[in-house]
A and B are shown apart, each in its own frame.
Chain A
């Protein structure tokens, strides 16, 4: 059994700056409605929440073999379970890549401190389905 780990960090001030400059155009292009609702409307908590979610999307991209196909950002979604835990939900090309590469369900941890948000994703590499170079 092989374990895959992806990690990424995202400066929160970069997200704040993008929201200031581009507003809703920025947030709606990168994040799903669920992700936006999860982060609320308070500018401070929204920016750090979105920064952590962007880091999670990037962490997932580090787990998947994206040579040839790079999923869109919204195909990798951070959802909150009923218990409040964050989880990764893949759709479209991201889900197809994971299936083809035998990447199992992903565990996610988000954090932020000071100016940085970070995400760690862990997944199990299952038996390959077909045709992957991993």
Chain B
């Protein structure tokens, strides 16, 4: 698991209010179908900003940005976050 994936899952565990641990989810699993609420996704977004010292631009402030671990990773990469193998 990459450094970014590990941090995404850590943030999901602390702010996502998911009924399972995030490490049990695949990159493509739909987070909303697995219990992530829209409101919790906002907290996840803000916690990711803190974790990576970034700011999501307005065009990424929508539910689809946070629909899976893979989608979140793609958004982070588009903001310049570098993914390195763990």
- Give the B-binding residues of A (Cβ under 8 A): 10, 14-15, 18, 21-22, 25-26, 29-30, 54, 58, 61, 70-74
- 1/0 per residue B59-85: CB within 8 Å of A? 101111000000000000000000000
Can you offer 18 A-B residue contacts whose CB atoms are under 8 A?
A14-B39, A15-B39, A18-B39, A18-B46, A22-B43, A26-B42, A26-B43, A29-B61, A30-B61, A54-B39, A58-B38, A61-B38, A70-B64, A72-B58, A72-B59, A72-B62, A73-B61, A74-B58
* Residues of A contacting B: mostly: helix
**B64 and A29 contacting across the interface, CB-CB below 8 Å:** no
B43 touches A21 (CB 8 A): yes
A29 with B62: CB separation less than 8 A: no
How far is B31's CA from A25's CA once the two chains are assembled, in angstroms?
23
From A10, A25, A58, A73, contact of B46 by CB (8 A): A25
Residues of B within 8 A of A (CB): 38-40, 42-43, 45-46, 49, 58-59, 61-64
B43 adjacent to A70 (CB under 8 Å)? no
A29 to B64, CA, bound (A): 16
Given contacts A18-B39, A18-B43, 12 further A-B contacts (CB under 8 A): A18-B42, A21-B46, A22-B46, A25-B49, A26-B46, A61-B63, A70-B64, A71-B62, A72-B62, A73-B42, A73-B61, A74-B61
Contacts of A58 in B (CB 8 A): 38
Chain A nearest Cβ from B11, distance in angstroms: 13
Instruction: Collect the chain B residues with CB atoms within 8 Å of residue A29's CB.
Output: 42, 45-46, 61
Residues of the A chain whose Cβ atoms lie less than 8 Å from the Cβ of B61: 29-30, 72-74
CB distance from A75 to the nearest CB of B (A): 9
Instruction: Report A-chain residues with C-beta under 8 Å of the C-beta of B43.
Output: 18, 21-22, 26
| A10-B42 contact, Cβ under 8 Å, with A70-B64, A72-B61, A73-B61 | no
Which residues does chain A contribute within 8 Å of B62, judged by CB atoms?
70-73
Residues on A with C-beta less than 8 A from B38 are 54, 58, 61
CA distance A65 to B58 in the complex (A): 21
